[in-house]
Amino acid sequence: MTARVDERLERAFDKRTATALGKLGLATVGDLLGHYPRRYADPGALTDIAALEVGEHVTILARVEQATVRPMRNRQGALMEVVVTDGSSRLSLTFFGKHRGSLYNHEKRLVPGAKGLFTGTVGLYRGTRQLTHPDFTLMGEESDLDSDEALLEHATKPIPIYPAAAGIPSWKVQGALRVVLDTLTDPDVPDPVPDEVLQRQGLPPRAAALRSLHRPATMEEAYRARHRMRFEEAFVLQAALAQRRARTAAEDATARPPLPAGKASLLADFDASLPFVLTDGQRAVGDEIAVELASPRPMHRLLQGEVGSGKTVVALRAMLQVVDAGGQAALLAPTEVLAAQHARTLRALLGPMADAGTLFGAERTGVSTRVALLTGSLGAKARKEALLQAASGEAGIVVGTHALLSEHVQFADLGLVVVDEQHRFGVEQRDALRAKGRVSPHLLVMTATPIPRTVAMTVFGDLETSSLTEVPAGRAGITTVAVPAGNTRWTDRTWARVREEVDAGRRAYVVCARIHPDEETKAAAKDFDDVPEFLDQTGPGAEGAERPPLRAVLEVVEELRSRPELAGIEVGVLHGQMPPDQKESAMARFASGEAPVLVSTTVVEVGVDVPEATAMVIFDADRFGISQLHQLRGRVGRGTDPGLCLLVSDAEPGTPAFARLEAMTQTTDGFKLANLDLELRSEGDVLGAAQSGRASSLRLLRVVKDAGLIEEARTAAADVVRASPDLTEFPELAKAIHAQLDEDQEEFLERA
């Protein structure tokens, strides 16, 4: 017997209704049941009309105050104008008819005192807000879908308000659901949450929860139902992650134990050549990783750490252990600039150790290797060479961007995959790279944006977590100052400060939000060297016309080259549209001090490491998100000299944008800033940026607010997966996980 929820809507309803519901993306009875109310209207309280915004699609509960019909002035036909009210504000509804008679029905129904739901898009006509030809349903009337009792008859029950579309107003969805719910029995609705879990959590079965969600007698009942559905979301997600963990734990991996002390090894040589001592944290996490790499089970670890806490060194040491043991390591970086920098750092640190036998296929001696760099825009020759070095095993370390994921890339013996700045990659990409090993390679994922524990649990829930909490000693700290834009005194002072830094042998970044002065903001965003979202479009005036245009790299660089304060100083340029060799040379000239001032886009945001850089000027700072500013700022003050970060903006005090900048000036604690950021951002942004796909399956769950619930779900899910690892005992849960993975997969393919 197929479950009732799989029934197509065309079978359950007449064609017209099914087609209308189809406009909302609903195909089956199950889809309809999963179309949750966006909110509930209190039948005793009319909707606050003053709060409605022009352009918004709304469903409001209001009372008719007056209604008039008159012939049209300029053309044939009649016009009916109805004024509805919430008791204080008014909204006008207009209906046109071919002639007065065609409005007769409306005239009869929309009489003063009539109360009902009205839906449409709020428009503006001569300064008055109005709905044109709104759909409506009135209390005490029969709905066209329902013959027994009117939808709004029970004036005490909350009225569910559904996401609607033209031709399918909220109450039609409600009517369709009523038909389904009236005949729905508990067994009709399979429940992915096992009975014993429901009992332990004190939650109702799925069918009951759906009934309460769509037809609550009280708001409490609706809240309880939402809680139960939220738990289900968390539970299914956590079960999927628990299965992933269990599967990985059962995989075979090649053990890559460290070489015994005294034996010539890359790792030992590297450690000896480090110009600093490792922090206690780096040592502890390093030991943890070393042990896991030595095990025949794949490591699956997330390394979280504040910007500048020294994650890269930890990753390099892990890679060298694997190379020492005869394997290869791949380092996946989110941008070309970062990939090139990692390759450069590695080669510099390894020195002669990175010059292994230049003969193709030469045997590795155990104390030298090669570092290959593979990015999307390499020339054919360089690319071929890098591919050969990876495939032959000549390169013990292969650094690259997502170009590493291409099917042409092969490894002789891939033992470790390191993903730097993970928030830019999805699970699928991680897996694509791991699939290149003969047996499962070990995995180390690094993320610099400190993320709250519950986000880690949700997004990286299949990984074990290590954290670097301290930054290396001897850092002098960063001072952050908000600078008003367009103030000459401040501007002069800013460049004078930059001059001072340069004269003292240090470097300064100047960051702009876009490349070309005459380019649309959004067009520029796309060019940022595969940085997906860089501007905070939610900020006030993100599209604003009254604000001065965003400063652009190409304009600012010209300005700086002619500023008296910077006379004689070479000013470099870096942005995502430059060819890779130019990008690399710009970075190199900046790092060496040849061009100690660098005007760039956010390509320097992640991971770029120039210890001599002490100053950063960020233009239009209010247009960036907090975590992004934090990342950017993390580029300076990485050495022993104090850092200075100037946030230039014209944000007005009292605005959220200003609040963000203020927060930046007050703390450098990434965790505090991350939490604040979460408060200011929508969930979709958080998960969407963190990992492709996941956001789609979370509809009610809020990773920060629902922290406790996620913890409970995680524990419950782990128990269930332990009891039945392949979930044969819980077929409905298995089905729900599959459905969710399919959805994620689809989303991923769409983005690719």
- Is there binding between residue 614 and Mg ion (CB under 5 A)? no
216 binds, among ligand ADP, Mg ion, none (CB under 5 to 8 A by kind): none
Q: Which DSSP state fits 260?
A: P
Q: Using CB distances below 5 to 8 A depending on partner kind, what does residue 175 bind out of Mg ion, ligand ADP, none?
A: none
693 dihedral zone (left: phi>0; alpha: psi -120 to 50; beta): left
Quick note: the x/- pattern for ligand ADP over 443-472, rule CB under 6 A, is -----x-----------------------x
Among 169, 308, 327, 441, binds ligand ADP (CB under 6 A): 308
- Tell which positions 276-335 bind Mg ion, by CB under 5 A: 312
b/e per residue, 57-83, with b = 16+ CB within 10 A?
ebbbbbbbbebebeeeeeeeebbbebb
Q: How far apart are CA 481 and CA 46, in angstroms?
A: 47
Of 160 and 308, CB closest to ligand ADP: 308
**Count of positions on this chain that bind ligand ADP (CB under 6 A):** 19
Instruction: Indicate the residue type of 53.
Output: E
Closer residue to ligand ADP in complex, CB, 35/342: 342
Out of ligand ADP, Mg ion, none, what residue 356 binds, judged by CB under 5 to 8 A for its kind, is: none
User: Given candidates 143, 282, 600, 740, which one binds ligand ADP under the rule CB under 6 A?
Assistant: 282
* Interface with ligand ADP (CB under 6 A), residue from 305, 426, 441, 572: 305
The dihedral built from the CA positions of residue 200, 201, 202 and 205, taken in this order, carries a sign that is negative
How many residues lie near Mg ion (CB under 5 A)?
A: 2
Q: Which is nearer to ligand ADP, 84 or 289 (CB)?
A: 289
Interface positions, 625-684, toward ligand ADP (CB under 6 A): 638
Residue 173, token pair as written in the block: 């969805």
Q: What proportions of the chain, in percent to the nearest 5, are helix, strand and coil?
A: 45, 20, 40
Q: Which residue in 47, 170, 243, 279 binds ligand ADP (CB under 6 A)?
A: 279
Which residue's C-beta sits nearest to Mg ion?
607
Question: Cα separations (Å) of 588 from 337, 401, 417, 594, 602?
Answer: 11, 19, 27, 9, 17
360 contact choice in Mg ion, ligand ADP, none (CB below 5 to 8 Å, kind-dependent): none
| Shortest distance, position 470 Cβ to ligand ADP, whole Å | 9
335 interface partner picked from ligand ADP, Mg ion, none, CB below 5 to 8 A per type: none
Using CB under 6 A as the binding rule, whether residue 18 contacts ligand ADP is answered as no
Burial of 585 (0-12, 13-18, 19+ CB in 10 A): middle
Among 184, 193, 313, 353, binds ligand ADP (CB under 6 A): 313
Return contacts of 686-690, CB within 8 angstroms, 24+ apart. Answer: 686/455, 687/455, 687/458, 687/459, 689/423, 689/532, 689/533, 690/423, 690/451, 690/455, 690/459
Q: Which is nearer to ligand ADP, 160 or 310 (CB)?
A: 310
Residue whose structure tokens are 């209190």 = 42
For the segment 530-559, give every residue that binds Mg ion (CB under 5 A): none
For 666-731, list the strands marked E by DSSP.
none
Residue 472 binding result from ligand ADP, Mg ion, none, given CB thresholds of 5 to 8 Å by partner type: ligand ADP
Residues 271, 276, 277, 281: is their CA dihedral positive or negative? negative
Question: Considering beta carbons, is residue 309 or 401 the nearer one to ligand ADP?
Answer: 309
CB 617 within 8 A of CB 494: yes
Bridge-based pairing state of the strands 159-161 and 39-41: antiparallel
Least Å from the CB of residue 602 to ligand ADP: 16
Q: Residue 276 binds which entry of ligand ADP, Mg ion, none, with Cβ cut-offs from 5 to 8 Å by kind?
A: ligand ADP
Binding residue (CB under 6 A) for ligand ADP from 6, 70, 276, 741: 276
Question: Quick check: 719 binds ligand ADP (CB under 6 A)?
Answer: no
Q: How far is the CB of 36 from ligand ADP (least distance, A)?
A: 41
Q: What six digits make up the tokens of 267?
A: 């790792």
Could you tell me the smallest distance in angstroms from the CB atom of residue 607 to Mg ion? 4
Q: How many CB atoms within 10 Å of residue 27? A: 14
> 700 near 709, Cβ under 8 Å?
no
Mind spelling out the 3-state secondary structure of 391-459?
Answer: HHCCEEEEEECHHHHCCCCCCCCEEEEEECCHHHCCHHHHHHHHCCCCCCCEEEEEECCCCCHHHHHHH
Closer to ligand ADP by CB, 310 or 396: give it. 310
Q: Which stretch binds ligand ADP (CB under 6 A): 195-203, 277-285, 676-684, 740-748?
A: 277-285
For residues 503 and 597, is the Cβ–Cβ distance under 8 A? Answer: no
Please give the Cα distance from 716 to 734 (Å, whole number).
15
Amino acid at 466: S
Q: What is the C-alpha separation between 222 and 700, in angstroms, rounded?
A: 13
Work out how close the CB of 278 gets to ligand ADP at its nearest, in angstroms, rounded to a whole number.
5
- Residue 20 CB, nearest approach to Mg ion (Å): 52
x/- string (CB under 6 A) for ligand ADP, residues 222-261?
A: ----------------------------------------
Residues 158, 190, 310, 441: which binds ligand ADP (CB under 6 A)?
A: 310
- By CB under 5 A, residue 607 contacts Mg ion: yes
* Phi then psi dihedrals of residue 156, to 5 deg: -110, -20
The amino acid occupying position 632 is: L
CA separation, residue 732 to residues 80, 231, 236, 740 (Å) = 53, 16, 10, 12
**Three-class DSSP category at 640:** coil
* From 309, 321, 401, 601, residue interacting with ligand ADP (rule: CB under 6 A): 309
Site for ligand ADP in 587-616 (CB under 6 A): 607, 609, 611
Task: Catalog residues that contact Mg ion under the rule CB under 5 A.
Answer: 312, 607
Task: Catalog residues that contact ligand ADP under the rule CB under 6 A.
Answer: 276-279, 282, 305, 307-313, 448, 472, 607, 609, 611, 638
